[in-house]
A and B are shown apart, each in its own frame.
Chain A
Amino acid sequence: MSPLLELRGITKHFGATIALGGVNLSVTPGEVHALVGENGAGKSTLMKVLAGIHQPDAGTLILNGQAFAPRGPSDARGAGIMMVNQELAIAPHLTVSGNIMLGAEPTRGPFLNQTEINQRATAALTELGRPDIALDKPAGHLGIAEQQLLEIARALAVGCRVLVLDEPTSSLTAADTAKLFTLIRRLRDQGTAIVYISHFLEEVQALSDRCTVLRDGVTVASAPTAELSTEAIVNHMVGRQVDELYHRSSRTPGEIVLESNELSSPPNLLSATLQLRRGEVLGLAGLIGAGRSDLLQTIFGLSPIKSGDLRVASFSGKPSPLRAWHKGIGYLSEDRKTEGLALDLSLEENLTLPRLPSILKPSTLAKETGHWLEKLGVRAAGPTQAIGELSGGNQQKIAFGRLLRNDAEILLLDEPTRGIDIGAKQTLYRLIDELAVQGKAVLLVSSYLPELLGTCDRIAVMCRGTLGPARPVAEWTEHSIMLAATGATEDAA
């Protein structure tokens, strides 16, 4: 079949930086085309070229056999190229139908044609197999998976030929991901061309027909997915052999440093009993919304304790973030952009915020920051650069460095490797291992099962607010974790 959309030799410079150095991509109707690459490989720039936000310096776009040069987002939308981004563009106060037809509202004279709005919204939802969603419900009341569905429905309602999905599953539960996959296959079978951007290579393997790998702004591989192993994809992405991604040296657990007994913080955390020892990494598995993040936040004093005991080392009492840092507890938020970091502030300000002397000596702080940048291998212009200008991986290293600088004895890590590239992941895994060997205690929340199985000593599974018993990692498999997380086994109840 001839390609519906073809990109040939696309290049794009920003000042002296080459964002794209010759990208080729060819998408045929009725295929799911996975686009993978490390952060900074050029995926988002490429998508912005496709969406008409950036104009390429050289190269051609061919849509349906004709040259196509979108000069703005409306050109691209008019041609049927639709984007669903990681950060959803939903107006929470508008209704479901209002959101689906947003920006393309049919009118009758000066008035909205509500009948047609509803008809077309219903048609789009029906096409997606979800006619049950009420049209007049405010979109903000829907769950995140359904909000995403609205965005896809919006694309369909205005006539979509190429659908670009950017990291669509990063905040979905396993069940919702499965539903999304069904839906994507359905659209594919109806002849839509789908570009699927993801960091999760299992998803790429499970879903895509073809796979294109970008590295440093250049297409380095493009082949039917069936011909590419996960290992081969990773090797293309990093351009080198990835020997050992996870590190787990032999560690000897020491005394208990953190103990909770039926700790609760409703509505999300109902009961958590756990013991964390020095020199171990305890993994917390579970679905999104099961209460894992709430447990970390409760331990750290960001959520109030309703009932139960919490004892940190020999100390017990009402926790607060200030006291937690003083007691040697460090917390890494799962949401780097809205909670973890102040993006407008400098690397130094972000790194040193939890522990500052009353009178600051700028030269000392700058020197100290420089030391950590080097130690963590952060690529940045210097301590005064705004942290928002760095890549996700480098940002995460700074957020993690905050815990190290405070010499935290207990590390609460919530999804530490979300949205960062493989190189940065490897650095973090090595650091976590080093810390555990040094006798620090790590509580690790992750939705990525290979990561949990590869780095933890013990794993406990959380299901609907209740934490199950922790067992040595050897007793778990991905399958048994998923069973426990979905409440399918007896001991998870």
Chain B
Amino acid sequence: MLAKIRNSLSQVGPLIGLIAISALFASLRWETFVSWDNFAIMLQQTSVIGIAALGMTMVIIAGGIDLSVGSIIAVGTIVIALLIQAGWPPLAAAIAGIGACSFCGVLSGLLITKLRLLPFVVTLGMMGALRGAAKGLAGQQPIYPDEETWLNSLMQLGEQGTLPSGVWLMLGFAVLVAAVLKFTKFGRHLFAVGSNELTARLCGVPVERVKICVYALGAAFAGLGAVLQFGYLTGGDPTTAVGLELNIIAAVVIGGASLNGGQGTVTGTLVGALIMSVVANGCTKLGLPNWVQEIVTGVIIVAAVSLDALRHRGSKT
């Protein structure tokens, strides 16, 4: 019973944080902060990070990390832009973009499992290599296809009471990932590999296959993020999403996942992503300079992790 309460507390902890931070900004700037438009903007700004963080949640639960997702998003936007310019239909271009991103993930997964390299090092290398590849593909220039497609409207803010389709996409996939984690054998295997790889192997879990799949999936979700980013930019940009992988990882960690693996939830991750958007938005509304925002975000990351550590220590004795 006690364990149950503690467990649910760990789930709602980040949510309480989100509510507290929102309440703080609401009380300081009621007029500008609390409005449907602002609500929609914050969700819009969460969606690229949020959707990529869904994939990262699975990678981190399986005990891995992927530092290359920022570069993968850049590659994705370039591939989509090039294909649309070549006259592909938008849906096909988007799917091909996601496919290209997944391929990058498979490559990382193969290097990590077959050569037994550390994920941190492999994906650090991939981060640099893919950034270069994006620039090479694009000829070092942003690419804005002449043709206007429906992809460009994915992130558009509509009338009051509506949300951009990108936000709905993020929420829909969140439900899907949550279901995969809770109700499928694959989801259970992710937790097992992340919690204790030796045990997973002993129990007949195909550890290598699970790992390759999870890096491919993580990259595929980054690819979805690339589709949204393409919509947001209305084009491809090889220098977009630099450093975004750190925000994505931060969202997952604030949401209660452990970098040691075996732990993490979809709701936590989404709340983590929202916290960062709310802080950014609220600080802007308060007229605080960018550097204050950065400090606040940094403090929140450390605070979230230390609260988690304290809770764990409390439960051990």
Q: Tell me whether A317 is interfacial, beta carbon within 8 Å.
A: no
Contact with A along B180-208 (1 / 0, CB 8 A): 00111101100110011011111111100
Q: Which of A322, A356, A360, A385 contacts B206 (CB 8 A)?
A: A322
B195 & A302 in contact (Cβ 8 Å cutoff)? no
Whether A360 touches B199, Cβ cut-off 8 Å, given contacts A345-B191, A345-B192, A349-B191, is no
Q: Tell me whether A381 is interfacial, beta carbon within 8 Å.
A: yes
Q: Tell me whether A321 is interfacial, beta carbon within 8 Å.
A: yes
Task: List chain A residues, Cβ under 8 A from B191.
Answer: 342, 345, 349
Q: Which of B3, B185, B196, B206 contacts A358 (CB 8 A)?
A: B185
B201 & A353 in contact (Cβ 8 Å cutoff)? no
In the complex formed, the residue of A with least CB distance to B260 is A344
A325 & B203 in contact (Cβ 8 Å cutoff)? yes
B184 & A360 in contact (Cβ 8 Å cutoff)? yes
Whether A344 touches B263, Cβ cut-off 8 Å, given contacts A359-B183, A360-B183, is yes
Q: Which of A341, A343, A345, A353 contacts B205 (CB 8 A)?
A: A353
In which size bucket is the chain B interface?
20 to 34
Task: List chain B residues, Cβ under 8 A from A331.
Answer: 202
Q: Tell me whether B295 is interfacial, beta carbon within 8 Å.
A: no
Task: List chain A residues, Cβ under 8 A from B231.
Answer: none
Q: Tell me whether A143 is interfacial, beta carbon within 8 Å.
A: no
In the complex formed, the residue of B with least CB distance to A320 is B204
Task: List chain B residues, Cβ under 8 A from A381.
Answer: 1-3
Task: List chain B residues, Cβ under 8 A from A343.
Answer: 195-196
Task: List chain A residues, Cβ under 8 A from B192.
Answer: 342, 345, 349, 353
A353 & B206 in contact (Cβ 8 Å cutoff)? no
Task: List chain B residues, Cβ under 8 A from A341.
Answer: 196, 199
How long is the Cα–Cα vector from A118 to B184 in the complex, in angstroms? 58
In the complex formed, the residue of A with least CB distance to B197 is A342
A339 & B185 in contact (Cβ 8 Å cutoff)? no
Task: List chain A residues, Cβ under 8 A from B196.
Answer: 338-339, 341-345
Task: List chain A residues, Cβ under 8 A from B203.
Answer: 321, 325, 353-354, 402
In the complex formed, the residue of B with least CB distance to A300 is B202
Q: Tell me whether B262 is interfacial, beta carbon within 8 Å.
A: yes
Task: List chain A residues, Cβ under 8 A from B263.
Answer: 344
B204 & A302 in contact (Cβ 8 Å cutoff)? no
Within 8 A of B (CB), among A282-331: 300, 302, 320-326, 331
How long is the Cα–Cα vector from A340 to B263 in the complex, in angstroms? 19
Contact with A along B1-42 (1 / 0, CB 8 A): 111100100000000000000000000000000000000000
How long is the Cα–Cα vector from A345 to B205 in the complex, in angstroms? 15
Q: How many Å from the CB of A391 to the closest CB on chain B?
A: 15
Q: Which of B3, B183, B199, B206 contacts A384 (CB 8 A)?
A: B3
B198 & A339 in contact (Cβ 8 Å cutoff)? yes
Q: How many Å from the CB of B92 to the closest CB on chain A?
A: 30
Q: Tell me whether B317 is interfacial, beta carbon within 8 Å.
A: yes
Q: Is the interface of B mostly helix, strand, loop or mixed?
A: helix
Whether A338 touches B195, Cβ cut-off 8 Å, given contacts A356-B188, A359-B184, A360-B184, is no
In the complex formed, the residue of A with least CB distance to B188 is A356
In the complex formed, the residue of B with least CB distance to A332 is B202
Whether A339 touches B195, Cβ cut-off 8 Å, given contacts A353-B188, A359-B184, is no
Q: Tell me whether A386 is interfacial, beta carbon within 8 Å.
A: yes
Q: Which of B206, B262, B317 contacts A342 (CB 8 A)?
A: B262
Q: Tell me whether A271 is interfacial, beta carbon within 8 Å.
A: no
How long is the Cα–Cα vector from A358 to B201 in the complex, in angstroms? 18
Task: List chain B residues, Cβ under 8 A from A345.
Answer: 191-192, 195-196, 262
Contact with B along A349-383 (1 / 0, CB 8 A): 11001101111111000000000000000000100
How long is the Cα–Cα vector from A68 to B299 in the complex, in angstroms? 42
Q: Which of A342, A360, A361 contacts B200 (CB 8 A)?
A: A342
How long is the Cα–Cα vector from A354 to B199 in the complex, in angstroms? 10
How long is the Cα–Cα vector from A324 to B205 in the complex, in angstroms? 12
How long is the Cα–Cα vector from A211 to B297 in the complex, in angstroms? 58
B3 & A353 in contact (Cβ 8 Å cutoff)? no
Q: Which of B183, B188, B201 contacts A302 (CB 8 A)?
A: B201
In the complex formed, the residue of B with least CB distance to A341 is B199
Contact with B along A172-195 (1 / 0, CB 8 A): 000000000000000000000000
Within 8 A of A (CB), among B302-317: 317
Q: Tell me whether A147 is interfacial, beta carbon within 8 Å.
A: no
Task: List chain B residues, Cβ under 8 A from A340.
Answer: 199, 202
Q: Which of B3, B4, B7, B202 contacts A333 (CB 8 A)?
A: B202
Q: Tell me whether A111 is interfacial, beta carbon within 8 Å.
A: no
Max count, chain B CB within 10 A of own CB: residue among A338, A341, A344, A350? A344
In the complex formed, the residue of B with least CB distance to A402 is B203
Contact with A along B261-304 (1 / 0, CB 8 A): 01100000000000000000000000000000000000000000
Q: How many Å from the CB of A26 to the closest CB on chain B?
A: 28
A356 & B185 in contact (Cβ 8 Å cutoff)? yes
Contact with A along B124-162 (1 / 0, CB 8 A): 000000000000000000000000000000000000000
How long is the Cα–Cα vector from A362 to B4 in the complex, in angstroms? 16
B4 & A384 in contact (Cβ 8 Å cutoff)? yes
B188 & A342 in contact (Cβ 8 Å cutoff)? no
Q: Which of A323, A338, A354, A357 contacts B198 (CB 8 A)?
A: A338
How long is the Cα–Cα vector from A384 to B2 in the complex, in angstroms? 12
A386 & B202 in contact (Cβ 8 Å cutoff)? no
Task: List chain B residues, Cβ under 8 A from A320.
Answer: 204
How long is the Cα–Cα vector from A356 to B205 in the complex, in angstroms? 10
How long is the Cα–Cα vector from A349 to B191 in the complex, in angstroms? 9
A321 & B202 in contact (Cβ 8 Å cutoff)? yes
Max count, chain A CB within 10 A of own CB: residue among B185, B196, B201, B262? B196
Task: List chain A residues, Cβ under 8 A from B198.
Answer: 338-339
Q: How many Å from the CB of A136 to the closest CB on chain B?
A: 29
Q: How many Å from the CB of A184 to the closest CB on chain B?
A: 32
Max count, chain B CB within 10 A of own CB: residue among A302, A325, A339? A339
A344 & B205 in contact (Cβ 8 Å cutoff)? no
How long is the Cα–Cα vector from A300 to B198 in the complex, in angstroms? 14
Q: How many Å from the CB of B256 to the closest CB on chain A?
A: 13
In the complex formed, the residue of A with least CB distance to B261 is A344
In the complex formed, the residue of A with least CB distance to B196 is A342
Task: List chain A residues, Cβ under 8 A from B262.
Answer: 342, 344-345
Q: A320-B204, A342-B192 are in contact. List 17 more A-B contacts (CB 8 A).
A: A302-B202, A321-B201, A323-B204, A333-B202, A338-B198, A339-B199, A341-B199, A343-B195, A345-B191, A353-B205, A358-B184, A358-B185, A360-B185, A362-B182, A381-B3, A385-B3, A386-B3
Using a CB–CB cutoff of 8 Å, the interface residues on chain A facing chain B are: 14, 300, 302, 320-326, 331, 333, 338-345, 349-350, 353-354, 356-362, 381, 384-386, 389, 402
**Nearest 10 interchain pairs by C-beta:** A342-B196, A322-B204, A342-B195, A353-B203, A321-B204, A339-B198, A354-B203, A356-B185, A325-B204, A342-B199
List 19 contacting pairs A-B, 8 Å CB cutoff, sorted by A: A302-B201, A302-B202, A321-B201, A322-B206, A324-B204, A325-B204, A331-B202, A338-B196, A339-B198, A339-B202, A341-B196, A344-B195, A345-B192, A357-B185, A358-B185, A360-B182, A361-B183, A362-B182, A381-B3
